Homo-oligomer: A and B are copies of this chain.
Amino acid sequence: MPVVQIEMLPGRNLEQKRAMVKRVTEALVETINCKPERVKIIIREVAKEHLADSGVLYLDQE
């Protein structure tokens, strides 16, 4: 049943996303012993002006 939500910066291409969901699914299957068809992944890209650490937007950290 695992539902995985991944928030990350934009900029990854399709090939990287393909590899990411494949590898994350394998990681779950092999460690918590669930069936691969039970793993659902949702990716959300978050712009640098919508993320902050230490009270400062990523946009302003560069």
Contact = CB atoms under 8 A, between A and B. Distances in A.
Stoichiometry (number of copies): 6
Interface residues of A, number: 51
Interface in A33-56: 33-34, 36-37, 39-46, 49-56
Given A3-B7, A4-B6, A34-B8, A51 B57 contact: no
A23 B41 CA distance: 16
A46 to B, nearest CB: 6
Contacts of A42: 3, 7, 46, 50-51
B14 A59 contact: yes
Contacts of A46: 1, 42-44
